[in-house]
Amino acid sequence: MSNNQFKRGELYSVINGIASTAVARRLQKNFRNAGLEITIEQWSILYHLWKEDGLSQQELCMCTFRDKASITRLIDNIERLGLVERIASKDDRRVNLVYLTDAAKPLQEATYNLANQTMNEALQGISKEEIEIVKSVFQRVYENSK
Amino acid sequence: MSNNQFKRGELYSVINGIASTAVARRLQKNFRNAGLEITIEQWSILYHLWKEDGLSQQELCMCTFRDKASITRLIDNIERLGLVERIASKDDRRVNLVYLTDAAKPLQEATYNLANQTMNEALQGISKEEIEIVKSVFQRVYENSK
DNA sequence: TTATAATAGTTGCATAACTAACTATATGTC
DNA sequence: GACATATAGTTAGTTATGCAACTATTATAA
């Protein structure tokens, strides 16, 4: 990245996710500075498991908008860190359910706080109405493009 | 990716670039379907060279929001495709200037058309006022986070 | 019930991203 | 002019992404 200007005139930059990438990188940096040795992609998995533990890989595909190969390897890495484990479903032997381990617990509060703080910084000076419009526009852009 | 729902309530999804990613993937698919064998990342380099040929790698870093290692390898790949060439600057021997080759010319119109079409589809049903708000918000998010 | 299709997950291959360490050239200061 | 510093670009190592081909299991339909 670096010393750059976000060109106001260019919708290209917006759609291309320049701002999103900047926020993501900032969050990653904040994790690192706090001594949290996980990537934001790994965190996005943990985030959903903290909301509901024991999701299948397929369900994680859907709630993180990734394909199944990406989830396979993300889970591989998070499992290697000892933060989750795969447990085969009894109902359907094709399915792996992904469960948090005790080692993941201490991460929850710290990462939530950093994520909230990062988001608040990112949204400084932006009104609730503007945020609602952005959400609504991106909802439609997503529906138009998926 | 796949069969998913963009959750209206989650700013997380917006900031995380879910919609941007969907648009990017759609554009990549449209390139592929048209028989254009370049990635959208490679295209983002060509896009800036078509606007101004002979940019340095450093300048390409800035206008595509990537770091220099990423640019080195993107140019490696585009050069391997025969679409650009590096020419050492006479003024500063540290600098490589990147020039389009004749082989890149036929791609310009086709990719512009596909990009415009993809963008128009993505923005269907979204007003100019909304687009302006989104641009303005993302400008501020970027400034807050870079 | 048996053949076919669909689904969950894994693996191989290619591209791309970031960080950090490195080389080579320019600049700036004493 | 000499030494320290900054800049442009490359390379190595790790993570992540997408697509396509594959295995194993389950569901459907003849």
From chain A, pick out residues whose CB is under 8 angstroms from the CB of B133: 130, 133-134, 137
CA A94 to chain B, closest CA, distance in angstroms equals: 19
Q: Average pLDDT over chain A, rounded to whole?
A: 87
Q: How confident is the model at residue B5 (pLDDT cuts 50, 70, 90)?
A: very low
pLDDT at A13 over 90: no
CA A68 to each of CA A59, A60, A101, B23, B63: distance values in angstroms, whole numbers, following the listed order: 10, 9, 22, 20, 33
Instruction: Give the residue nearest to nucleotide D26 (CA to C1').
Output: A92
Q: Among residues of chain A, what percentage have pLDDT more than 90?
A: 55
Cα–Cα dist A129/A91, whole Å = 46
Contact A126 B140 (CB under 8 A): yes
Cα–Cα dist A119/A139, whole Å = 19
CA of B72 to C1' of C23 (A): 15
**pLDDT top residue among A114 and B4:** A114
- Quick one: closest CA in B to A124, which residue? B144
Cα–Cα dist B138/A6, whole Å = 9
Amino acid A3: pLDDT: 34
φ/ψ region of B65 (left if φ > 0, alpha if ψ in -120 to 50, else beta) reads left
CA of A24 to C1' of C4 (A): 45
Residues in contact with strand C, defined as Cβ under 7 Å from any of its atoms: A 1, 21, 25, 28-29, 56-58, 61, 68-69, 71-73, 75-76, 86, 92, 94-97; B 39, 41-42, 66-67, 69-70, 73-74, 77, 92-94
pLDDT at B9 over 80: no
Write out the H or E segment, with its range, that includes residue B85: strand B84-88
pLDDT at A11 over 80: no
Amino acid A78: pLDDT: 97
Contact B146 A20 (CB under 8 A): no
pLDDT in tens, B30-87: 999 999 989 999 999 999 999 999 999 999 999 888 999 999 999 999 999 999 999 9
Amino acid A15: pLDDT: 57
Cα–Cα dist A85/B45, whole Å = 41
Write out the two tokens for A99. Answer: 């469960």
CA of A51 to C1' of D28 (A): 35
Number of Cβ pairs < 8 A linking chain A and chain B: 169
CA A128 to chain B, closest CA, distance in angstroms equals: 11
Instruction: Give the residue nearest to nucleotide D8 (CA to C1').
Output: B94
CA of A55 to C1' of C4 (A): 30
Task: Tell whether A123 is within 8 A of chain B (Cβ).
Answer: yes
Regarding the domain delimited by A11-145, which CATH topology (the fold level of the hierarchy) does it fall under?
Arc Repressor Mutant, subunit A (1.10.10)
The secondary structure of B51-70, three-state, reads HCCCEEHHHHHHHHCCCHHH
Range with the poorest average pLDDT among A28-32, A139-143, B1-5, B79-83: B1-5
Q: How confident is the model at residue B11 (pLDDT cuts 50, 70, 90)?
A: low
Ranges of each domain in chain A: 11-145
Regarding the domain delimited by B38-112, which CATH topology (the fold level of the hierarchy) does it fall under?
Arc Repressor Mutant, subunit A (1.10.10)
Nearest neighbour of B67 by CB, restricted to A1, A62, A118: A1
DSSP state of A88: E
pLDDT in tens, B105-126: 999 999 999 988 888 888 889 8
Tell which residue, B35, B11, B113, B96, has the closest CA to residue B61.
B96
List beta partners, residue A100: A84
Query: Is the separation of the CB atoms in B27 and B40 below 8 Å?
Result: yes
Determine if strand D comes within 7 Å of the CB of B135: no
Cα–Cα dist A68/B132, whole Å = 36
Question: So what's the ipTM on this one?
Answer: 0.83
Cα–Cα dist B12/A52, whole Å = 17
Amino acid A4: pLDDT: 42
